[in-house]
Amino acid sequence: MSDFSRREFLKRSVASGVAGGLVLAGMNRRAEASAAADVGTVIDLTLCDGCVSLPLPACVSACRDKNKPRFPEPIENIGNYWPQKKKEDWSKKRDLTDRLTPYNWTFVQKVQVEHGGRDHTLYLQRRCMHCDNPPCADLCPFSVLHKMPEGPVLIDHDLCFGGAKCRTVCPWGIPARQAGVGLYLKIVPTFAGGGVMYKCDLCYDRVKAGKIPACVEACPRNAISFGKKEEMRSRAHERAKEIGGYLYGENENGGTSTFYVSPVPFEKIHAALLKQKANQAKPGLPGFPGTPVGVENMTESANGIAWTMAIAPVAGIAAAVGAAYKTMKGGGGDVE
Amino acid sequence: MSNDRGKIKRHGLSVILTHWLVALSTFVLIFSGFGQMPLYGRYMVDRIPGLFWASDFSVTLLIHYWAAAVLMGAVAFHLVFHIIRRDFDILPRRGDLRESGRIILATFGFGEEPENDKYLAEQRLAYVFIAFSLLLVIVTGVLKVLKNLPSINYSEGFALWITLLHNIGTFLVIIGIVAHLGAFVFKANWPLLPGIFTGSIDREYAKERHGIWYRRICGGKEP
């Protein structure tokens, strides 16, 4: 080490810096810019009457008719999620229309809320909000959910393993699971996987073809508007201002493509929905979302430290240069 | 070079610290990474006292990020430190595959083990396997972190591939760890163990099994 010069040290430092930078190679890769969530919807609660004169709200019927060919057809004898003694099988309850299931991708909630000295009866069409930065898609362990450039969030039913993490990380618990169907059956069905997740895809095929979603088309009172997302946002703001009402979905979960307009604060609607859920025969069942106001996106805290993480390799490199210099100059660096 | 007559220095403090930081962060990453799959709730790991948080994705995700930062820091340190010092003893050499075969056969009593440098040929190959696996996991992990940011959205195929490669990389790392620890099933390798804790190993063992290295660091003379 005696012939080791400062110049040589600097030369090696630069060379190693380049190699060390390879650790950060991914940081240099330009990711495809986030596609602006192009389309969106406004759901006007002052217009929706839940189609009370019909056996089923028109939006729900249209959704079921349109998506029926894609509803799951599970195997006969569905095993439990070992070691648990349960499984999620909705196939015998295909007619359920009062919650989200793998066979019912949208439904209408009826709530009665007092506000401003008046009793309001409201109907909320519920389905996937198609978030701007969907945690379901970000955190799926197999990346089988995806935010499309046009805005809708889709599930790849062929690759979904049915772990239902997407439902857990969704503030509204939207995706619904059907056991006994999908890829997991071909791997180790007893020990891993739970089926396939299903939810609204905003009629992506129709949107791609320049049409409007089936539920929007079916609504007899034009309570659901569909169009360019920014136009929908403006429309929702205008409508809320017009009625002195409230907006939901613009900021929730970091922003969504669905804007609800209501004459009643959503905190009150949320409280009423929670009360309804608590009074259901099985309050623990999924598929009956509330309207938590200002709910945070689950990736927010992790995203908050993402750039801080970049300091770690830089610190590692700086410490390495210092340590290498010390050990080499000190003459005690024969063995490291 | 040596800290007492019967011992010889094999690793410096930097190497020991780096090894344990990589090991610790990797174990935390594996645990929190498996936590990203909905396993701990189903398999009731979260019912083990003290592990109630294991099935909370928001907790395991944060742990995963912090452990990844430690791993990246340690790996960057390792690369830069050894490149500057030109310590390349652990990189594979021509003929290492065949030499590994001879070492393994000798372990089972067939033939004689070749004379070794600081690391056995199989250790050099194992290093490359683990290093490749960790780099695969790090690069795909960084891409996954970027994917989670609100301003970034990958194409469907790209997201699927990086996730698949991240998961494959994880299994390669686990295989590497099992093989690394599995080496210590054989008694012949036991004398190497103190090296990664104290930095020193038995001088006679080094002389006998790592003759090339021993002669090099002793300058051909008996110290």
What is the phi/psi pair of residue B48, to 5°? Answer: -70, 130
- Indicate the range of A8-17, A241-250, B41-50, B85-94 predicted with least confidence: A8-17
Closest of A134, A109, A91, A95 to residue A257, by C-alpha? A134
Residue A32 counted as domain residue? no
| DSSP H helical ranges for A244-299 | 266-278
- Residues in A closer than 8 angstroms to B18, CB to CB, are none
- CB of B126 within 8 A of CB of A12? no
User: Hey, of A1, A22, A309, A329, which one would you mutate to test binding to chain B, going by the most B CBs within 10 A of its CB?
Assistant: A309
| Residue A227 confidence (pLDDT) above 60 | yes
**Rounded-to-integer distance, Cα A216 and Cα A220, Å:** 9
Instruction: Provide the CB-side half-sphere exposure for A320 (13 A, CA).
Output: 34
* Domain containing residue B82: CATH number: 1.20.950.20
User: DSSP letter string over B145-160?
Assistant: HHHHSTTB---HHHHH
- CB of A293 within 8 A of CB of A270? yes
- Residues in B closer than 8 angstroms to A25, CB to CB, are 139, 142
- Residues in A closer than 8 angstroms to B154, CB to CB, are 31-32
Smallest CA–CA distance, residue B25 to chain A, in Å, is: 13
Q: Which residue has the tokens 């990844």?
A: B68
Residues 65-84 (B) with a CB less than 8 A from some CB of A: 65-66, 68-70, 72-84
**Rounded-to-integer distance, Cα B43 and Cα B24, Å:** 24
- CB of B51 within 8 A of CB of A294? no
| Rounded average pLDDT over A80-95 | 95
Give me the interface pTM, i.e. the ipTM: 0.88
- Residues in A closer than 8 angstroms to B66, CB to CB, are 305
Q: Do A142 and B164 touch (CB under 8 A)?
A: yes
Smallest CA–CA distance, residue B1 to chain A, in Å, is: 7
Q: Do A19 and B83 touch (CB under 8 A)?
A: yes
At A25, is the pLDDT very low, low, confident or very high (cuts 50, 70, 90)?
A: very low
Residue B1 counted as domain residue? no
Residue B2 counted as domain residue? no
| Residue A185 confidence (pLDDT) above 90 | yes
Residue B108 counted as domain residue? yes
What is the extent of the structural domain holding A170? 39-303
Residue B137 counted as domain residue? yes
- Residues in A closer than 8 angstroms to B72, CB to CB, are 23-24, 309, 312-313, 316
Smallest CA–CA distance, residue B42 to chain A, in Å, is: 7
- pLDDT winner (highest mean) among A10-14, A324-328, B27-31, B210-214: B27-31
Residue B116 counted as domain residue? yes
Residue B222 counted as domain residue? no
Residue A312 counted as domain residue? no
Burial state string for B172-200 with b = 16 or more CB within 10 A and e = fewer than 16: bbeebbeeeeebeeeeebeebeebeeebb
- CB of B70 within 8 A of CB of A315? no
Residue A261 counted as domain residue? yes
| Residue A11 confidence (pLDDT) above 90 | no
* Domain containing residue A149: CATH number: 3.30.70.20
Nearest residue of chain B to residue A324 (CA atoms): B81
At B105, is the pLDDT very low, low, confident or very high (cuts 50, 70, 90)?
A: confident
| Rounded average pLDDT over A302-329 | 91
- CB of A262 within 8 A of CB of A45? yes
Smallest CA–CA distance, residue B50 to chain A, in Å, is: 21
Peptide bond between residue A83 and the one before it cis (omega within 30 degrees of 0): yes
Residue A308 counted as domain residue? no
Q: Which residue has the tokens 């998506």?
A: A67
pLDDT of the residue at B47: 95
User: Hey, of A23, A80, A150, A165, which one would you mutate to test binding to chain B, going by the most B CBs within 10 A of its CB?
Assistant: A23
Residue A176 counted as domain residue? yes
> DSSP label at A105?
S
**Rounded-to-integer distance, Cα A182 and Cα A160, Å:** 7
Residue B181 counted as domain residue? yes
CB count in 10 Å sphere of residue A185? 18
If DSSP states are collapsed to H, E and C, what string results for B90-138? CCCCCCHHHHHHHHHHHHCCCCCCCCCCCCCHHHHHHHHHHHHHHHHHH
- Measure CA A240 to chain center: 25
Percent of chain B with pLDDT over 90: 71
**Contact partners, residue A309, CB within 8 Å, separation at least 6:** B65, B68, B69, B72, B145
Task: Please give the tally of structural domains in chain B.
Answer: 1
B210 reaches A (C-beta below 8 A): no
B150 reaches A (C-beta below 8 A): yes
Q: Do B42 and A81 touch (CB under 8 A)?
A: yes
Task: Please give the tally of structural domains in chain A.
Answer: 1
**Tokens read off for B33:** 């990474």
Residue A17 counted as domain residue? no
- Condensed to tens digits (0 to 9), the pLDDT of residues A126-135 reads 999 999 999 9
- Condensed to tens digits (0 to 9), the pLDDT of residues B120-161 reads 999 999 999 999 999 999 999 999 999 999 988 899 999 999
**Rounded-to-integer distance, Cα B76 and Cα A104, Å:** 51
Q: Tell me the CA end-to-end span of chain B in Å, nearest whole number.
A: 9
State the pTM of this model: 0.88
DSSP E strands: which ranges in chain A?
39-44, 107-115, 118-126, 145-147, 153-155, 176-178, 196-198, 224-228, 246-248, 258-262
| Rounded average pLDDT over B53-69 | 96
Name the strand (E) or helix (H) holding B64: helix B57-85
**Rounded-to-integer distance, Cα A111 and Cα A270, Å:** 9
pLDDT of the residue at A269: 98
- CB of A287 within 8 A of CB of A93? no
Residue A14 counted as domain residue? no
Smallest CA–CA distance, residue B5 to chain A, in Å, is: 17
Burial state string for A42-71 with b = 16 or more CB within 10 A and e = fewer than 16: bbbbbbbbbbeeeeebbbbbbbbebbeeeb
Between A121 and B6, where is the model more confident?
A: A121
A16 reaches B (C-beta below 8 A): yes
What is the extent of the structural domain holding B53? 7-217
Cross-chain CB nearest to A328 (options B61, B85, B135): B85
Residue B186 counted as domain residue? yes
User: Which one-letter amino acid corresponds to residue B14?
Assistant: S
B28 reaches A (C-beta below 8 A): no
Cross-chain CB nearest to A312 (options B14, B70, B148): B70
Output the CA torsion A141→A143→A148→A151 (10° steps).
Answer: 0
Closest of A224, A324, A5 to residue B77, by C-alpha? A324
Cross-chain CB nearest to B160 (options A25, A32, A143): A143
| Residue A22 confidence (pLDDT) above 70 | no
**Rounded-to-integer distance, Cα A140 and Cα A163, Å:** 9
Angle ∠(B77,B81,B82) on CA atoms, nearest 5: 120
Residue A325 counted as domain residue? no
Q: Mean of the per-residue pLDDT values for chain B? A: 91
Q: Do A327 and B14 touch (CB under 8 A)?
A: yes
At A28, is the pLDDT very low, low, confident or very high (cuts 50, 70, 90)?
A: very low
User: Which one-letter amino acid corresponds to residue B108?
Assistant: F
**Rounded-to-integer distance, Cα B6 and Cα B194, Å:** 13
Smallest CA–CA distance, residue A213 to chain B, in Å, is: 22
- CB of A48 within 8 A of CB of A221? yes
pLDDT of the residue at A75: 96
